[in-house]
Amino acid sequence: MEVSTIGRYEIESELAVGGMGIIFLARDPYIQRQVIVKVLMYSRTLDDVYREYFQREAEVIAALEHPCIVPVYDFGWHGKQPYIIMRYMAGGSLQDRLKESELKLTEMAHIFKRVAEALDAAHAQNIIHRDVKPSNILFDVTGEAFLSDFGIAKSKPITDEEGEWLVGTPGYMSPEQVLGEPVDGRSDIYALGVVLYRLLTGSMPFSSESVTSLINAHVNLPVPDVREVKANIPAVWQEVVAKAMAKDPNDRYKTAGELARDVTEVVSGKWFLRKL
């Protein structure tokens, strides 16, 4: 997509292209700051479902307005293509950090606290993220963590001329999300449990080149023991991961904050005092 401006925003570079949209780094000439511009693919503008899906992200984040959620600054139309203007997160994503090195446990606990606050605020308004994963956890220039990409919040499976497809990322989807059943905040907690497993071990709990096999594993296979991947991980971490990723939502943490609290207490050692 060759373009120099979108709305009043001056395009500096193209950052990414996905199945639904293009992400640009741009500058707001009015206040001289860099911003992110997300534009819906032109080919997707012909279908109402994609335009609604895209606009929903702006509406959801505007309704939340939380200090741990990447803010939306503006929404508009570039011809027939809707676009969202968001804060530029200069620190990259958690996915980027994982490619560079392992996180310190104290860093992990702080990230979980921030993401949990964002999720609990969303859940209090009956908004389910549905796509919690490292690439949707972003950092500002100071290294503070923010939750991003609420584009599929409140969504149901989308049906277009190519058939029906699940919304979400298969490696992080809860069993109930995979099965197309009603979901609540505990589905996001499951995904956060997958993120925890990955941060602790450096690998995913389930992996397969087949999407069908992967999502079936989330439904049918027990949560792998983190110590099978890294033998030196304390057994307590398996207890936390297993609770977050329980197949039955009733067996999981009730809130993301409860999960983040346990992560913090294991890291600080308070968990063990609690068990005395």
Residue found by looking up tokens 């709305």 in the block: 7
Q: What is the pLDDT of residues 158-214, one digit of tens each?
A: 444 444 445 678 999 999 999 989 999 999 999 999 999 999 999 999 998 888 999
Q: DSSP labels for 88-105?
A: --TT-BHHHHHHH-PPPH
Name the nearest CA neighbour of 192 among 265, 139, 118. 118
Domains identified in the chain and CATH numbers? 5-87 (3.30.200.20), 94-274 (1.10.510.10)
**How far is Cα 106 from Cα 203, in angstroms, rounded to an integer?**
20
Q: What is the pLDDT of residues 87-100, one digit of tens each?
A: 999 999 999 999 98
Provide the annotated active-site residues.
131
Residue found by looking up tokens 């690998």 in the block: 203
**How sure is the predictor about 23, in pLDDT bands with cuts at 50, 70 and 90?**
very high
Would you tell me how many other CB atoms lie within 10 Å of the CB of residue 72? Answer: 21
Q: What is the pTM of this model?
A: 0.89
